Amino acid sequence: MQTINNIEQEIIEEFEIYDDWMDKYEFLISYGKELAPMDEKLKTDDRLIKGCQSKVWVDANYDGEVMHFSADADAIVTKGIIGLLVRVLDKQKPEDIAKAELKFIDEIGLKEHLSPTRSNGLLSMVKQMKMSAIQALS
């Protein structure tokens, strides 16, 4: 199993290939396109991330060992962002998720290149995924 830090490093290296932020946005959008489809029955209000401009749903399950996340969004950039977070946090131990710094977000320049509302949405997504992990531990 890959660690959160290893996956973050892979993402940082993938984004370093691109110099221009328009290319990075295209790459980010590709993450959304690769995101496994979320069951429509899971797109409920209790799975909706509060604080996002667009609609983002995250479903979290704990199998006793690791967390499993599925997600979807109704905007392509936002779907790419949640796709990145799922890639990093899916199939990780809840205690590792709870303490993860997710430094890749700053290192790829994501927060600084998002609008303030998208940046707030990103923070809300991270917070919700970490809360799911913390709840799994209790």
**pLDDT class of 73 with cuts at 50, 70, 90:** very high
DSSP label of 48: B
- Taking the CA atoms of residue 61, residue 138, residue 104 and residue 73 in that order, the dihedral angle to the nearest 10 degrees is 40
Q: Is there a catalytic annotation at residue 27?
A: no
Q: Would you list the domain boundaries of the chain?
A: 4-137
Region of 56 please: left (phi>0), alpha (psi -120 to 50) or beta: beta
Tell me the pTM. 0.93
pLDDT, greater one: 53 or 18: 18
- Check whether 118 has a pLDDT greater than 90: no
**pLDDT class of 68 with cuts at 50, 70, 90:** very high
Instruction: Please give the distance of CA 81 from its chain centroid, rounded to a whole number.
Output: 5
- Catalytic pick from 38, 52, 60, 102? 52
* 86 class by beta-carbon count within 10 Å (0-12 exposed, 13-18 middle, 19+ buried): buried
- Check whether 108 has a pLDDT greater than 80: yes
The CATH architecture to which 4-137 belongs is Alpha-Beta Complex (3.90)
